[in-house]
Structure 1
Amino acid sequence: MDTRVARERLLELQRELQETIEGVTSGMEAGVTADSPNGGHDFGDEGAHEQQAAEQEAFVESSRTRLASVQDALKRIEDGTYGVSVVSGKPIPDERLEVRPDAATLADEEL
Structure 2
Amino acid sequence: MDTQVARERLLELRRELQETIEGVTSRMENGVTADLPTGGHDFGDEGAHEQQAAEQEGLLDGARRRLQSVEDALKRIEDGTYGVSVVSGKPIPDERLEARPDAVTLADEEL
| TM-score after normalising by structure 1 | 0.93
Alignment partner of 1:35: what SS?
coil
Same amino acid, percent of matched pairs: 81
CA RMSD across the alignment: 1.5
Could you say if the C-alpha distance between residues 27 and 2 of structure 1 is closer, same or farther in structure 2, counting changes exceeding 3 Å? same
Q: Given the alignment, which residue of 22, 41, 44 partners 1:43?
A: 41
Helix, strand or coil at the partner of 2:109? coil
Q: Secondary structure at the match of 1:86?
A: coil
Relative to structure 1, is the Cα distance of residues 42 and 71 closer, same or farther in structure 2, using a 3 angstrom cutoff?
farther
Q: How many correspondences in the alignment? A: 109
> What CA deviation, in whole Å up to 9, does each residue of 1:16-74 have, x standing for no partner?
001100100110110101114xxx67623111000000010011001111001000000
Q: Deviations over 1:71-105 (max 9, x none)?
A: 00000000000000011100000000000000000
Q: 1:26-105 to 2 correspondence within 5 Å? A: 26-36=26-36, 43-44=41-42, 45-105=45-105
Structure 2 residue runs of 5 or longer lacking an equivalent are none
- Separation in structure 2 between the aligned mates of residue 30 and residue 20 of structure 1, nearest angstrom: 15
- Unpaired runs of at least 5, structure 1: none
